[in-house]
Every structure is written in C-alpha cells, then in structure tokens.
Amino acid sequence: MEITAGYLPEMNNETIEYREIIYSYNGLTAKVKVPQLSPQQLSKIMSIVKANAHILKSFSVSELVAIIDQAIHILLDRQSKQRRLAETWLPIITGYDQEIIRTGLTTFLQRFRKHELQRFLVEDFGNPQLLDDFQPLVKGGYSKAVGADVTGHIWAGNVPGLPLWSFISALLVKSGSVGKTASEEPLFAGLFADILAEVEPKIKNCFAIVTWKGGDEEREALFFEGCETIIAYGSDQSLASIKQRVPVTSKLISHGHKISFSIIGKESLHMQKAVETSHLAALDLIRYDQQGCYSPQAIFVQKGGLITPGEFAKYLAHELSALEIRFPRRELSIEESASFIRNQQREEMSLFAEENKEIISDENGRWIVIYKDHSSEFLPSVLNRSIQVFAFDEIDEVLEKIKHYKKWLQTAGMSTSPENVFLWSQKLSLHGVTRMTGIGRMTSPEAGWHQDGGFSLADLVKMTDIEASTLELAEPLSAYSN
Amino acid sequence: MTQKELIASIQQFIHDEHSHDFNELALQLFRYQFEHNLPFQRFSKQKRKTPRNVKNWRDIPSVPIQAFKDVPLSCISTEQAEATFMTSGTTKHIKGKHYHPTLTVFDSSMITNFKKRFMKEQKAIKMGILFPDHEEMPNSSLARYLFLAKAFFGTPESKYTLSGNGINFELLLEELKTAQQSGEAYALLGASFSFVHLIDYLQEKQLYFKLPKGSRILDTGGYKNQSRHVETGEFYTALKTHLGIEKSDCINMYGMTELSTQFYDDGNEEIPSVKSGPHWIRTRVINPLTGLDMPFGENGVLVHYDLANFNSALSILTEDLGVETDKGFQLLGRVQGSEQKGCSLAVDEFLRYAKEES
C-alpha cells in the first residue's frame, strides 16, 4: 500500500521530490510518501501562503466556521473516502488499535462541529465578530482581532488528530498555515487540508502541509523567518532549540511534553461505583497508551471509601486485562519493550525494601499496575499502560508528590464530590495543573480548552485598537460636519 | 549446599566441562541465591519463580543490571566481601555494586578463558596495559582483570603505561619502539577509550609502528563520556595504520561489572564481530516483554547466565541489544532509552533532564 501525504498549494512547474517512510503493524506494511522540499521550494511555498492570506481574511468568521464544519462532517462520515483512508492508514502508521482510532477520531472530530467552534470562538473573544470588523468597546474606541498572515506549526508525536487543534485555530483567526508534520504521523493534517480545499477551492492556496527532518537549520531558518506566529509541539529539548532560533519579532507558542494524573475521592469508591470508576480510569490510560499529554501517569486514590486504594488497584488491573482483549496495546519496539520491562523489574526488585508496595502485571508485559502507599515517591511513568496507584488521606499528600513537576503538569482527572472538585481544583491550580476533567474524559478535552493554560485563539491574534480620541479628532473632519 | 561446596563445584566445572551438568549446577545455584538473598527471593516470588517450580536454567529470573544499584545483591553480609566491584555509573552518582566474598572464582573464570581466547594457549607475551593498576582502582573489575592478565600471562618486562594522570606516552612510545626492533610479539590491553586517546596522539604526531608478528590488541568497553566517539571499523583501521596490527589480531572483550565471566570475539576483520563465552556462561537473546527467545536472527535484549556469579545473581538482564548467530551473538550496542512517541513526559525523558541538571 502506498499513499502520498502532505498538502501543497499550486506551484507552477515545480518538480517535487518525495521521501518514503515505511510503517508496519500487525503484518501490514504502509509506504507513505512525504514531500521533500528544497529550501528554495519551501521559501516559495511560504511566499504563496503569505500572498494568499488576504483571501482568508475576506471570509467572515461564520463563513470559515461553516467551511470547517463541512470538512469535519466529511471526516465524521464513516462512508466517506477520506474517513476510510484515515481509518485504514492511521492504525498502521501509529500502531494504535483500529477500534481505538475509530472511536477516538469520532470523539475528537465532534469537538470541531459548528456549534462547538462557536463556543470555541466565544470562549476566547466574547464577540467573535471581533475577527471580522472593529467592534465597539465598553471603555470607548473600537478593536479588531487580526490573525497572522502565516502561522507556522511544528507538530510532534503520533497521537492522531492532534495537529487539527492548532491548524483549525489558525483558520478561525483567518491566518494562513504552514505545518510541519512529525514522522510518527505525517498523514492526517494533509488529509484535512485536502478536504478543506475541496470544500472551498478559494482557500486552496492558503495553507501547506510539509515536512523536513527536525532540526534542519537551513529549512527551519526560512520557516521561522516566514511565520509571524509559530506553534511548536515537542520535547523540552527540541523546543529549547527552536526557541533559540525564532526571531524576536515572531511569536512562539510552545507545547512541551506534559504530566497528567487522576485523583479519585473516597465518595466514588462504593461497592458498585468502584467498578465504574475503575473502568473509566482504565479507559483514560488505554486510549493512545498514555502517550497524550493529558493521559494519566498516576492515579491517587483516597483512603476511607468502602473499597481501599489497594483493592482499587486490583479492580484497575482487572479492567486493564479485560480491555487488553478488546483494545490491544500498540506493538512496542525493542527499545520501548526494554524500557517497560526495566521499569517493571526495578519496581519488583524494590518490593523487598518497600513492604506495602504491590505489583500486578500481565505475564506478557502488556500492562502493569504498581500500588504504592503514601510513603513512595512519584516518578513519571514509563507509559504504554504502566500506571502507579498511590493511596492518600488528604489532598495535601497528593500536592506533596506532584510539587516537583509543576512546570510539566497539565490535566487532573477527577472523580469526587462537587465540594471537593472546587476545593481540590483551587489547590491544584496553584501547583501548575491547568485542566480538571472527569475521569474517563481525560483524553478528549472540550472545545475551547486552554491548552497548557494558554488561549488557543486569542494567543494567535494581534488586537488592534482604534482609540476614542481618533474618532473625536475625526468627527469635525467629516464632509458633513456642522 | 553451602557456599564452600558451591564454589568447589563451580571451580571444578570451570576446569572441566564434563564434571557437571550446566542445568543442574545453575538450578543449585538458583536455590542457593534464592535462600540467601532476600531481595532476590522477594523478586523471584513476585515472578512466581521458586526453586520448586524452576526446572530449567532458562526459567531462572533475570535480575536487571539496575538492581545492582538499588539493592545489595549478595548472599553474604556485604562487609565480608573480599572485593566490591563498582560500575562507573553516572546517574546521580549511584554506582552498581558487585560483591565478591572471594575472588577465587572470578580469577579462575578470567584466567581459564583468557588463556584460551586471547593467549590462544601461548604461555606468555610482553604486555603494555593501558589502564591504571588494581591498587589504584580497587573497585574496578577491569583493573582486576588486567592485573590478572599481566600477572599470569605477561612477561616480567610487561608494564602499566597509564596511571591516574593519563597515558604515559613517553614510556609507551619507548615500549613500542623496543617491541618493533626486538621482533618479539607485544600485546597492548586496555579500555577502548584509552586506545582512542592513543590513536589521536599517534595521528597528531604522525607516528606509525609496525609491531612484530604475533602482536595483538585487546580493547574493551565503549567510549562514552571518556573520549570522542569512533565507529568500530574506523577504530580498528586506525590501530592497523598506526600500530601495524591486523584487525584479525584485535580482540574485543565484552564484560560487565555485574558478571564474573567475559566474552571475546576472534578478531575484528568483520564487524560487528561475533562474541562468545566459555561453557560456564550462556546467553539468550530475548523479547524483553515476554522473556521468550527471539526468532533466530532477530534483534533482542541479551540475558546472560553466568555460573561464576555465585554470590550475586546468576542470571542478568542486560541493557545490550544483540542478535544470535551460529557461533555466538553480535553485540549491537546499548538499548537506548525509548524514543518519545506522543506528548506525555515519560520517565526516560524526565531522567535525562534530571541527569543534565545534576
């Protein structure tokens, strides 16, 4: 099987070279051809997108919402050609189970339907017409939100669909986009660009989805130079390298790797509730095998419920074992396998020293639950369905364990009483957590979420003001002035 | 079985392959370690492996090398050890410790195997040792190893040509010149990174030797953090260019602080070379997740079963990637920390940051 990824605007008489990336999964092999642009060609593409930015700006924000909504519905339609492509290719490329991808894509794409996009806009702007025209301000004067001509995206990782967050955000603020895909998943962004161009041919030259080897200084210098705003995803290390090279006049928004966790209050540990709670918690961690920034790396379980935290760990192990049959884990490379087992063996070796620790694991290394009492330290997980369960009495014990990770924290999945939701959120917010959600929902953030504490849309525009004095001075100058 | 009896059996086995059965001796050793090393016992029980149900050496639980850093892996009180070998570990300066109640087994394992694989039954050769002596580095298993090589197989004129201050180039050049003129075979032994320093020096000074026939080299270990990185092929080519020693006479030894037995190749004409060990150590190439053997010819992680590891753990899960061949295995380097797939901060990446900061 062979497919061409990426999306290029119209370029006259250019010969584009393609590089092949081979993926294999479950005995299936996929050959993905990604455009390999010369620095000159990349430069040319940047200019084309920039030159066409005015076309996006000529659409009203509601017209753009309608275009995106139409494109999303094509992807939601399981019979559409594009949806079938995504369902066929993404499992091979990313290695995630077909069912996980199918259900994950649908949940994910629903976030971008018209009514959700409208919420997204209202969330950041209050009045979305700010994007179309100058709007009156309460303090006097007028403001307009202006998106960049070109927003650059550097995507990373293999969680399918993630590039859509920033791509759609840029479109909503009427900004052209040049996106660099990751070799772990080079397909989906280009596929979406194709659909957009099909839905509204007028905007076909307003974006490009390309790729190059991360760290390629020549191409990246051209890219950074050509973008007013850059949204970059990746490890702290690669983001630090990008930060050094982005010109001061460009805006860099970076999303590094994150740590998320769940907290389960004793209220949700009644006999019947506990089964449901453990099921939801297990779902959060089998979805994309904990690879998402919002995926839980540890579960803190409160003592004092009918089910003890130790028993909860067993419930969780049971759920993981059952879910493994329906949604098997991605096949791991030798490196990942070795890492997974090294971690397991290390935990097993310390059982002697840490008496209250318990380890429940699958004999073929497909998942592991490590139960630790409150005295143990929390270290990030090795992922791929490796979860640590910690017992706690008071929320402060949780805070104590996460405090070293403040700069990396993101989502806290919760299952507790409304009173605790606010009490705990208050404290967690001071420790760096930027998103609270119900357990079972950790991997599907709501439309309009503040990813890593930022504004998805508002951060992409320049607010442009007409101060009241401008009009005061202008009034007497009108032709019809008395 | 008491420690004394076990040592006697192992010694006997090292000297005579037919004196014992590998499997039986391995199971006896497992029983002994299970009984006398409580952290190992707890570990084995967690894996539901006990002397009752383990009937084959392949089923003996493998201890990850990391465990040598985390817990005392010893069947005797660690204060009673005659020698404690330590890894050069860098993470947070925690070193793996391998306790040897007596060095007799380590010594006979080294001597018997070295004689066969490096000396090729030759009685003695003049040696230059590119490594500090064992008194300077009492916790280095390599220092012990090289000390034994020189003491048992080096002619009386053999010398250490490196000390804490680095390579003594003046002395070494003198030794090389003498060897070249005398026509007497010469052996240079030491850590691979010291050879890189030597190559750099000889390159800079444009010095070329043609050491006499029968001369040879033994290098071991990697270059990590100690010298620049050199590709294996380039490394042996440079040794040939500057010292005149054929690649087939350059032997690479693969050993670990956590083991008491070493592996050798038969020269480095072809790389990666094939490594093999003596009859008292066995190696499997496994899928780390399942612990099952990889199909022949496919890459996996190496597990060694070393009967000379009588006091620590006889089965060691390494972090080395390898592939089985007809005559042994090829070493393909370290299993790197896994590459990040998604956008979650995994422990491998976190530890890298922690290491950089420390």
Put simply, whether B300 touches A (Cβ < 8 Å) is yes
**What average pLDDT does the segment B193-200 reach?**
94
Helix (H) or strand (E) holding A65: helix A61-76
Q: Are residues A198 and A275 in the same domain?
A: no
CA A343, A344, A346, A352 torsion-angle sign: positive
The residue type at A102: R
Domain boundary among the residues A225, A257, A289 is at A257
Residues of B in contact with A366 (CB under 8 A): 289
**Does the pLDDT of residue B43 top 60, yes or no?**
yes
**Could you tell me the two tokens for B207?**
């010095």
Residues of A in contact with B301 (CB under 8 A): 334, 337-338
Interchain contact, B70 vs A349, CB within 8 Å: yes
Output the pLDDT for position B89. 63
Task: Tally Cβ neighbours within 10 Å of residue B325.
Answer: 15
Sequential DSSP letters for A289-332: GG-STTSEEEEEEETTSSS-HHHHHHHHHHHHHHHHHHSPPPPP
Interchain contact, A334 vs B299, CB within 8 Å: yes
Q: Which of A235, A259, A341 sits opposite B289 (nearest CB)?
A: A341
| Least confidently predicted of A373-377, A399-403, B123-127, B273-277 | A373-377
**Does the pLDDT of residue B292 top 80, yes or no?**
yes
CA gap A233, A239 in Å, rounded: 7
Output the pLDDT for position A441. 95
**Does the pLDDT of residue A268 top 90, yes or no?**
yes
Residues of B in contact with A379 (CB under 8 A): 347, 350
**Cβ(B176)–Cβ(B243) below 8 Å:** yes
Output the pLDDT for position A356. 87
Confirm whether A298 is domain-assigned.
yes
Residues of B in contact with A363 (CB under 8 A): 290
**Does the pLDDT of residue A25 top 90, yes or no?**
no
Confirm whether A481 is domain-assigned.
no
Phi-psi region of A87 (alpha: psi -120 to 50; beta: other; left: phi over 0): alpha
Question: How many residue pairs bridge chain A and chain B with CB atoms within 8 Å of each other?
Answer: 148
Q: Which of B67, B335, B350 sits opposite A380 (nearest CB)?
A: B350
Number of domains forming the structure of chain A = 2
Confirm whether A252 is domain-assigned.
yes
Put simply, whether B67 touches A (Cβ < 8 Å) is yes
Angle, in degrees to the nearest 10, between helices B104-117 and B141-153? 60
Q: Which of B42, B301, B349 sits opposite A257 (nearest CB)?
A: B349
Residues of B in contact with A257 (CB under 8 A): 340, 343-346, 349
Beta bridge partners of B67: none
Q: Are residues A132 and A31 in the same domain?
A: yes
**What average pLDDT does the segment B272-285 reach?**
97
Interchain contact, A340 vs B46, CB within 8 Å: no
**Does the pLDDT of residue B91 top 80, yes or no?**
no
CA gap B222, B254 in Å, rounded: 10
Distance to chain B for A462, nearest Cα, Å: 28
Q: Are residues A160 and A274 in the same domain?
A: no
Interchain contact, B343 vs A288, CB within 8 Å: no
Q: Can you list the domains of chain B with their CATH numbers?
A: 3-102+279-316 (no CATH), 105-274 (3.40.50.980)
Interchain contact, A351 vs B43, CB within 8 Å: yes
Domain boundary among the residues A257, A284, A315 is at A257
- Across all residues in chain B, what is the average pLDDT? 92
Residue of A nearest to B298 (CA): A334
**What average pLDDT does the segment A247-266 reach?**
96
CATH number for the domain spanning A135: value is 3.40.605.10
CA gap A351, B38 in Å, rounded: 10
ipTM of the complex as predicted: 0.85
Q: Are residues A183 and A63 in the same domain?
A: yes
Q: Using alpha carbons only, how large is chain A's radius of gyration in Å?
A: 24
Distance to chain B for A383, nearest Cα, Å: 6
Interchain contact, A349 vs B64, CB within 8 Å: yes
**What average pLDDT does the segment A366-388 reach?**
92
Output the pLDDT for position A157. 85
CA distances from B203 to B196, B207, B211 (A): 10, 7, 17
Burial (0-12, 13-18, 19+ Cβ within 10 Å), B264: buried
CATH number for the domain spanning A277: value is 3.40.309.10
Query: Which ranges in A350-478 belong to alpha helices (H)?
Result: 395-402, 418-430, 468-474
The residue type at A306: L
Interchain contact, A335 vs B336, CB within 8 Å: yes
Which pLDDT band holds residue B185 (cuts at 50, 70, 90)? very high
**Cβ(A407)–Cβ(B357) below 8 Å:** no
**What average pLDDT does the segment A27-55 reach?**
94
Put simply, whether B85 touches A (Cβ < 8 Å) is no
Distance to chain B for A293, nearest Cα, Å: 4
Put simply, whether B346 touches A (Cβ < 8 Å) is yes
CA gap A6, A229 in Å, rounded: 21
Residues of A in contact with B41 (CB under 8 A): 352
Distance to chain A for B76, nearest Cα, Å: 17
CA gap A41, A49 in Å, rounded: 12
Torsions phi, psi for B111 (to 5 deg): -65, -45
Task: Tally Cβ neighbours within 10 Å of residue A120.
Answer: 23
In the sheet with A368-372, reading across from the earlier edge strand, the strands are A358-361, A368-372, A386-392, A296-302, A259-264, A409-415, A435-438
Q: Are residues A28 and A72 in the same domain?
A: yes
Give the tens place of pLDDT for each residue, B296-344. Answer: 999 999 999 999 999 999 999 999 999 999 999 999 988 876 667 788 8
Interchain contact, A380 vs B346, CB within 8 Å: yes
**Does the pLDDT of residue B233 top 60, yes or no?**
yes
Q: Are residues A392 and A252 in the same domain?
A: no
Q: Where are the beta strands (DSSP E) in A204-274?
A: 207-210, 229-233, 251-255, 259-264
Confirm whether A453 is domain-assigned.
no
For an interface test with B, the pick among A336, A354, A377, A382 (most B C-beta atoms closer than 10 Å) comes out as A336
The residue type at A109: L
Q: Which of A288, A337, A349 sits opposite B289 (nearest CB)?
A: A337
Closest CA to A39 of A182, A213, A246, A220: A220
Interchain contact, A255 vs B343, CB within 8 Å: yes
Domain boundary among the residues A236, A257, A278 is at A257
Give the tens place of pLDDT for each residue, B234-275. Answer: 999 999 999 999 999 999 999 999 999 999 999 999 999 999
Q: Are residues A119 and A225 in the same domain?
A: yes
Q: Which domain holds residue A283?
A: 263-438
Q: Are residues A55 and A160 in the same domain?
A: yes
Which pLDDT band holds residue B70 (cuts at 50, 70, 90)? confident
Distance to chain B for A169, nearest Cα, Å: 19
| Least confidently predicted of A209-223, A283-297, B335-349 | B335-349
Q: Are residues A41 and A163 in the same domain?
A: yes
As a whole-number percent, the residues of chain B with pLDDT over 70 amount to 96
Q: Are residues A153 and A295 in the same domain?
A: no
Put simply, whether B288 touches A (Cβ < 8 Å) is yes
Interchain contact, A350 vs B321, CB within 8 Å: no
CA gap B78, B82 in Å, rounded: 9
**Could you tell me the two tokens for B105?**
């087994």
CA gap B114, B248 in Å, rounded: 17
Burial (0-12, 13-18, 19+ Cβ within 10 Å), A290: buried
The residue type at A462: K
Residue of A nearest to B333 (CA): A335
Confirm whether A467 is domain-assigned.
no
For an interface test with B, the pick among A185, A345, A402 (most B C-beta atoms closer than 10 Å) comes out as A345
Collapsing DSSP to helix, strand or coil, A17 comes out as: strand
Which pLDDT band holds residue A395 (cuts at 50, 70, 90)? very high
Q: Which of A338, A363, A366 sits opposite B301 (nearest CB)?
A: A338
Q: Are residues A105 and A236 in the same domain?
A: yes
Q: Which of A295, A351, A365 sits opposite B344 (nearest CB)?
A: A295
Task: Tally Cβ neighbours within 10 Å of residue A218.
Answer: 11
Distant-in-sequence, close-in-space partners of A322: CB < 8 Å, separation ≥ 6: none
> First CA to last CA across chain A, in angstroms?
75
**Does the pLDDT of residue B229 top 90, yes or no?**
no
Q: Are residues A302 and A338 in the same domain?
A: yes
Output the pLDDT for position B92. 57
Q: Respond yes or no on whether the N-terminal peptide bond of residue A186 is cis (omega within 30° of 0).
A: no
Interchain contact, B342 vs A350, CB within 8 Å: no
